[in-house]
Amino acid sequence: MIGTLCIFTLLSSTAAWGPVGRWREGRVRNETGGGSGDRCTCDAFLPSSTFPIRDLVVVEQTAVEISHKVELEMGKLEDYETKLTAYAERIIQLTVEIEKMEKNPDDYNDAALDGVKVEIKQVEALVKELQLSIASSTIIFQSLHVQITTMVATLDWMEKTYDKNAVLVTRREYIKVQLELEECERRHQELFNPNIGSCAHNGIIRVSKPIVSQLNAHLSSGYKFGGWGKDSKPVPDRESMYWYSGYTSTSIVDIRFYTNYKNLILRNNFQHHNLQSGWTGTGNNYIIRDNTLYYQINSPFGLAKLNFTTMKYESRVIAKASTRFSYTDMPNQNFDFAADETGLWVTYATEESSGRMVIAKINEPSFGVEEEWQTSVYKPGVSNAFMVCGVLYAVRTVDIQTEEIFYKYDTRTKQESHISVLFEKFQDKFSNLDFNPTDQRLYMYNNGYYASYHLWFNHTTQATAQPPLVLTS
């Protein structure tokens, strides 16, 4: 109407996000003011928070950039493989020539010897150059993991805050990129560390930066207790299977299985087992081995195993094991199961040992203790522990971002020693840390997040002379 001023007032709202706000019904009103005519006002509701499209675009752009970098690294790996083959062949040829010279030194003059020495130095220079290239690739992998970790945090926040369907396309792109990076790292590890499953080494010398997959399958930061990983002795057709169990307390009440890594990330489990009454457990240091869950129970206090192929349940009591000693800042972790290249283990503390850790080898068919070893490390001073090739590695907290592998006990030689191999955490608290011999990785359940680490071992004399690499941010 003529002479009427219409004012639209924008009000905040808790409405769901969207491109258009919502109008308040029945709020059109006429007002008569002291001015020149009537005035009507309409109140329009806009959402209190709009969908962060800019953040989503940044994630998508980052995914594309990472994908391109991974493609470049895959190309480099093929080049490395070609060079390694050529260098190995030349070294074999030089070895044969040197052996001939040693057997018949009179048949060769000084010029021939000098020629071989020059070739050896040339091969040494090429190997050093290749080592620098490998180190450069490792740094790039670490950088890519930092970017992916940021993507994980952003996508998890968006899924919890906004419509999950709007994030799904980007989540799939992220999964594709992460799988590409995993494959590139797998080839890198196979090329330069082909000794997976071998115990011909002198121990751990380095731990990678954390590889953060995502928040747990419940998409809840409240599920701080639990574990995840792979079967350490997978049954046929389940070599790529992953498992996860999480809860809001240290109890273990169910477990989920995923056919592969992609389905783990998509939270698409193919089996979900709820532990029956009387089968529930406690603590967070359980593992899956041979499609069997090994875990701690409190009634009676002891060990339990549940075979998911036969659904057969068994339990055992270790009379000397004490309920008083758990890991630092993590209750009810009295028994800690571990698996390595040599079999199944469990660690605990006793009153006789005054809280010092005891290592026990478990006979898998009988579920009995075969042998025990007494260590000098005090369990309440340890944040977690794991086994590799019959050697116990104990871990302690340095600060909110750093853990240290500080102690090892070799059950073959009964020798113990103090070491220092530092590695980073994604979050400050973690409830589960286990080594898997099928891929030589550490799996950590880090304050509700899936995290894992690559390990490097001292396979050569040269590695013995090098100090452990300390990873810093």
Q: Residue ranges per domain, the chain?
A: 5-47, 53-172, 202-465
Indicate if the pLDDT at residue 109 is higher than 80.
no
Token couple for 470: 């300390």
Give the per-residue pLDDT at 20: 33
CA distance 393 to 415: 12
Indicate if the pLDDT at residue 252 is higher than 80.
yes
Stretch 132-154: mean pLDDT: 63
Is the model's pTM score more than 0.85? no
Indicate if the pLDDT at residue 210 is higher than 50.
yes
Q: For the chain, what is the mean pLDDT?
A: 77
DSSP 102: H
Stretch 406-427: mean pLDDT: 95
Give the per-residue pLDDT at 174: 59
CA distance 373 to 375: 7
CA distance 148 to 178: 8
**Per mean pLDDT, which of 7-21, 273-287, 372-386, 459-473 is the most reliable?**
372-386
Token couple for 106: 């009179």
Name the residue among 260, 248, 249 with its Cα closest to residue 222. 248
Indicate if the pLDDT at residue 341 is higher than 90.
yes
Stretch 19-48: mean pLDDT: 41
Rg (CA), the chain: 29
- What φ, ψ does residue 55 adopt, rounded to 5°? -65, -40
Select 202-465's CATH number: 3.40.190, 2.120.10, 1.25.40, 2.60.40: 2.120.10
Stretch 371-390: mean pLDDT: 97
What is the share, in percent, of the chain residues with pLDDT greater than 70?
64
Q: Within a 10 A sphere around the Cβ of 9, how many other Cβ atoms?
A: 11
Token couple for 310: 């036969």
130, containing H or E segment: helix 110-161
Q: Where are the beta strands (DSSP E) in 231-280?
A: 242-247, 251-252, 254-258, 271-274
Token couple for 361: 């080898």
